[in-house]
A and B are shown apart, each in its own frame.
Chain A
Amino acid sequence: QVQLQESGPRLVKPSQTLSLTCTVSGGSVARGGYYWGWVRQHPGKGLEWIGYIYYSGETFYNPSLKSRLNISLDKSKNQISLRLNAVTAADTAVYYCARSEVGESSPQDYWGQGTLVTVSS
């Protein structure tokens, strides 16, 4: 059973960098067949795809965030990370780590529980 767990600071100051880590168990970020990525949800709102990374290191980002975004993976720790620079209050959201199967449809089939990150001074 694949499990994903997000971790990181819950409060970030405006203009600083939001950093989250997703630890994967029951699966490997070092093997092909899956994308590992992030989806966020603003309070009371819908879902926004942030981006994902393949085991090769190839990344796919939402153009709306691309200039501020970095997703990386650490194969030795079986983790992926999210860094979002120059945050504002508009980046306050629940951030989910999720796995997508490569192939047709590529839905997010496993999700972390999510972590609320608040951007505030």
Chain B
Amino acid sequence: DIQMTQSPSSLSASVADRVTITCRASQSITTYLNWYQQKPGKAPNLLIRGASTLESGVPSRFSGSGSGTDFTLTISSLQPDDIATYYCQQTYNTPQTFGQGTKVQIK
């Protein structure tokens, strides 16, 4: 199985801060990398597919980049509504696997 490692596991930042979450795959997954946002008690919500394609309706402050083994999710200006846990996911092969999650909080 491809292992996905996210860092940090949690972070605390101020409103309007730039926030960066990284995700590393144990082997190359080209750009078969997706990002989800999950709020407590809710299902995950797809933010970005294919490493960098923003889903319709997702605020433009979210962006994704990377290829191969190293990927980044960036929130350009953190908003209170962004408080959530973020997961990366590889769909390069099955079993699909997720990172362990990054919990984002407001300082």
Report A's interface with B, CB cutoff 8 A. Answer: 39, 46-49, 60, 62-64, 96, 98, 100, 104-109, 111-114
Contacts and interface: CB of A to CB of B under 8 A. Distances in A.
Contacts of A98: 43
B50 interface: yes
Interface in B42-79: 42-46, 49-50, 53, 55
Contact of A107 (B89, B95, B100, B101): B89
Contacts of B31: 104-105
Contact of A62 (B42, B95, B101): B95
Interface of B: 1, 31-34, 36, 42-46, 49-50, 53, 55, 87, 89, 91, 94-101
Nearest to A97: B43
Given A46-B99, A49-B96, A106 B91 contact: yes
Contacts of A39: 44
B50 A104 contact: yes
Nearest to A60: B94
Contact of A46 (B1, B94, B95, B101): B101
Given A46-B99, A64-B95, A107 B34 contact: yes
Nearest to A94: B43
A104 B32 contact: yes
16 contacts: A46-B99, A46-B100, A47-B98, A49-B94, A49-B95, A60-B94, A63-B95, A96-B43, A98-B43, A104-B50, A105-B33, A107-B49, A111-B43, A111-B44, A111-B45, A113-B42
